[in-house]
Amino acid sequence: MKQVVLSFFTRLLTRIKQPLLPHINVHRAVQRLIKICGEIKSGPSENEEIQFLCTLCAKIKSDPYLVNFFLEVPKNSDGPKYAQLSPLSQMGPKSSKRSLEYSIVNSLLAMCSSEDGRVAVKACEGLMLCSSLPEKSAVTCLIENTDFCANLTNRLIKLYQRLPSTVNPDDLDAVYAKWGLDGISETENQQTFPGKRNVVSFLSWLDYCDQLITIANPTVARAFARFIYSNFLVAFIEPAIMQTSESGVVAATAYLRRCLKTVVSSILLSEFVRFILGDEKKPEKSQESSCKMKMRLIERCNHLSEEISLISLKLFDTLLQKNCSFIVYNLVLRNLEGGKHIQSGVSCHYSLQSKCPASLADTVFSDSITIETMSESDDSKSKDLTQTPPSSVEMERLAEAIDVQTLSSDDSSHVSPLHSVSKDGDQNSPQPDDQTVSLQSNSDTEKNHIDSATDNVSVAETSKPQQQQQQQQPQQQAVSEINDSDNLFLSQDNKAPEMTIKYYRSEVHKVINSFLCLLPEDIKSALPEADSGYDMYLRDAHKQFKSYENMCQDWKWPNQMDCSTESDHGFYEGAFLQMLFSKVSQMLHQSYAVNLQVTSVISRLCLFPQPVLHDFFLDPALPVTKDIKLLYSVLQKVVSDIKSRKKSKANFSQMLQTTRKLLINEHKTIDSMDTETFNEMSAVIVLEEFCKELSAIAFVKQYAVITRLSL
């Protein structure tokens, strides 16, 4: 009989066009039916119950005011006998303060744990509809008078507690989990890794919570996200991260990283970020931080256990891929925006009229110069890039390498060509070349007019290698700008401060030369006739920079570098940058996997379209104060260490070639090379490829600015 009645009301609500629910005799009967739904778990009328509830939720969603007829005062509370028969908005002041009952939500919560997957999914869909209602009365009742937040969070906690205590982070990354598609057979569970079914169930439910927060009423979304923060992240994830067991730390950090990759909604992501990084906005001080989680994770990047170090670096790498400006600001930018690292009396000069460096604003782009089309096939070798500076046509060919690639993939994850050395064959891996790109200026036009703002610098012009030393001069002309927005050191409405010295950002060809020529030719791993793979780096950098520009277009970057900020301490780059530069300086003593991950994190920071970050990482001639480390200076010290080691090894070049072949064919083993030597040789190769990647990023950023200016 119950099934018949539920089916009748379902059809009635679906087909009737007249507003029947406001009638007292209708919504009283409907209210009684709501209360009997979900009373018996896995009962015979479960399908009819969920169909009835979902139909009612759809009706309320189309007319949100109707929800007030289903918010009633419980029978055991004091008040008028039929207070529940009137809409909540018509109740008196006293009755509106009483605890109300939201029967629809209570029934849906009960049916979310049904053994029938289809019933559970439909119940979750009904909760999504209820949580997205704009009515303030329903929002308040949902948060304060139901177990909505607690029920969903407790289920997330139970699923987390079922996860395997040890897990391979690579296996975890390969798991695909979407809410509603979490079915997995027992055979598949055993063939991959034990506990995969539990992992899929947990990630699927987290995906549901994330989707619900995305579409829910903002008040409900914030309340639910805060409940997850306090009752799940702080109560369960934090103790797991802080434990002393190495295997437990690896598993807990891997699960946290996988959660970050799943979360998309900005509200829930902000709670995860607050949990990991804290909410500090002031510049860091050495050995001082209120966020123990952040400091512990940074310290573990230098852990003796390579597994812990690697998974901690991967966590920060994942953080830098998320659409949240506070991540970059908290880790790096808040320590740089004050300009304490810049020499006193030096200011960066910009053209306020064009919002780009003055020399670039005055540059005349000839209409007769066009980028020639590349005629070579994809599998043909590109023209060798030698130390002899190429002509303007070669510069155009590098730019064309970006345009000629049709980017059809929507995947915005950063997979640097540097990371493909050990995974792909010769055609897919960037073959290091002992020949480098040198962009030479025409000898008739460049004659030390560095401090003249009227000199026009053509992008096709290049500089001689012997003039590379001039990049240390503080009065260079600038030809690179990062984005075409208000993200400049000086806003358009402000006047440039009067300084004794005006610093012009290094010209792009000098930046490219600085990184490509950093490693001497005699300690490079590639053969002279091999393809340098530079075109691949250009295409990859173009794709990733475009993705980062789209992600950051709504971010509110600091619009100026305030060098006049008073503080009681000097410049401190922050614990995160200090850790990264320390890892770079120790490249020769670290494993290949760790070096790859460190360079991946740094390249992500370089890709952000922010002028302060760009100058700090990609301008070797930035006039910094004494004892301040730039990325370029740290790399120089590593190269000096490599040179000294080369003198003690007669077969250094041969070992480099052997190591490169081993990295390309990772299944091969060479017994004659010990682990220490392999790590040292692989570090040289990683450094060689990393310099190519940095130069490609610098070129692509400049190319993007020129493209916008020429439109």
Same domain, 283 and 410: no
Minimum mean pLDDT range among 176-185, 192-201, 204-213, 294-303: 176-185
* Dihedral in degrees, nearest 10, Cα atoms 400, 402, 407, 411: 180
Same domain, 674 and 699: yes
Minimum mean pLDDT range among 92-101, 413-422, 583-592, 682-691: 413-422
At 285, give phi and psi (nearest 5°): -120, 145
Cα dist. 214→131, 225, 264, 266, 552 in Å?
11, 11, 8, 8, 20
Same domain, 405 and 389: yes
Residue 89 pLDDT class (50, 70, 90 cuts): very low
Would you say residue 674 lies in a domain?
Answer: yes
Would you say residue 333 lies in a domain?
Answer: no
Host H or E run for residue 496: none
Same domain, 21 and 102: yes
Same domain, 128 and 262: no
Would you say residue 343 lies in a domain?
Answer: no
Residue 386 pLDDT class (50, 70, 90 cuts): very low
Instruction: Determine the residue type at 212.
Output: L
Minimum mean pLDDT range among 72-76, 436-440, 512-516, 524-528: 436-440
By residue range, what is the domain housing residue 261? 147-319
pLDDT (mean) for 49-70:
91
Secondary structure (3-state) at 421: coil
Same domain, 296 and 418: no
- Token pair listed for 606: 């370089």
pLDDT (mean) for 17-34:
82
Report the C-alpha gap between 559 and 556 in whole angstroms.
Answer: 8
Residue 503 pLDDT class (50, 70, 90 cuts): low
Last residue of a domain, one of 302, 319, 336: 319
Residue 675 sits at the vertex; the CA angle it makes with 670 and 679, to the nearest 5 degrees, is 105
Long-range contacts at 291-298 (CB < 8 A, ≥ 24 apart) = 292/242, 293/238, 293/241, 294/575, 295/575, 296/241, 296/242, 297/241, 297/253, 298/575, 298/576, 298/579
Whether residue 217 is predicted with pLDDT greater than 70 in this model: the reply is yes
Last residue of a domain, one of 146, 173, 193: 146
Same domain, 363 and 298: no
Q: For the chain, what is the domain count?
A: 3
Last residue of a domain, one of 146, 180, 200: 146
Tell me, what's the pLDDT at 422? 44
Same domain, 294 and 357: no
Same domain, 467 and 401: yes
Would you say residue 340 lies in a domain?
Answer: no
Query: Which residues have a Cβ under 8 Å from the Cβ of 232 and sit 6 or more positions away?
Result: 153, 156, 157, 160
Same domain, 549 and 587: yes
Tell me, what's the pLDDT at 396? 52
Give the CB-side neighbour count of residue 371, counting CA atoms within 13 A.
16
CB 414, CB 544: distance < 8 Å? yes
Would you say residue 166 lies in a domain?
Answer: yes
Would you say residue 541 lies in a domain?
Answer: yes
List, for residues 406-435, the tens digit of each pLDDT value: 334 444 444 444 554 444 433 333 333 433
**Spatial CA neighbour of 80 closest among 98, 65, 67:** 98
Tell me, what's the pLDDT at 401? 52
Residue 255 pLDDT class (50, 70, 90 cuts): very high
Average pLDDT over the chain, rounded to an integer: 76
Long-range contacts at 385-389 (CB < 8 A, ≥ 24 apart) = 385/433, 385/435, 385/436, 385/437, 385/532, 385/534, 386/435, 386/436, 386/438, 387/435, 387/436, 387/438, 387/465, 387/517, 387/521, 388/438, 389/438, 389/439, 389/440, 389/462, 389/463, 389/464, 389/465
* Alpha helices (runs of H) in 278-425, residue ranges in sequence order: 292-300, 306-319, 325-328, 334-336, 358-362, 392-403
- In this prediction, what percent of the chain has a pLDDT beyond 90? 43
What single-letter DSSP state applies at residue 26?
H
Report the C-alpha gap between 101 and 147 in whole angstroms.
Answer: 11
pLDDT (mean) for 566-587:
86
Say which residue the tokens 């852990």 belong to: 303
Residues constituting the chain: 711
Give the CB-side neighbour count of residue 532, counting CA atoms within 13 A.
24
List, for residues 440-471, the tens digit of each pLDDT value: 333 333 333 333 333 333 333 334 334 444 44
Taking the whole predicted model, whether its pTM rises above 0.95 is answered as: no
For the beta carbon of residue 107, count every other beta carbon within 10 angstroms: 24
Same domain, 113 and 206: no
Question: Taken in order 657, 663, 667, 672, is the CA torsion positive or negative?
Answer: positive
Would you say residue 4 lies in a domain?
Answer: yes
Minimum mean pLDDT range among 27-31, 174-178, 187-191: 187-191
Question: Taken in order 352, 355, 361, 367, is the CA torsion positive or negative?
Answer: negative
Highest mean pLDDT among 8-17, 459-468, 661-670, 683-692: 683-692
Whether residue 705 is predicted with pLDDT greater than 90 in this model: the reply is no
Instruction: Determine the residue type at 543.
Output: K
Same domain, 280 and 404: no
Strand-pairing partners, residue 440, are 462
Would you say residue 330 lies in a domain?
Answer: no
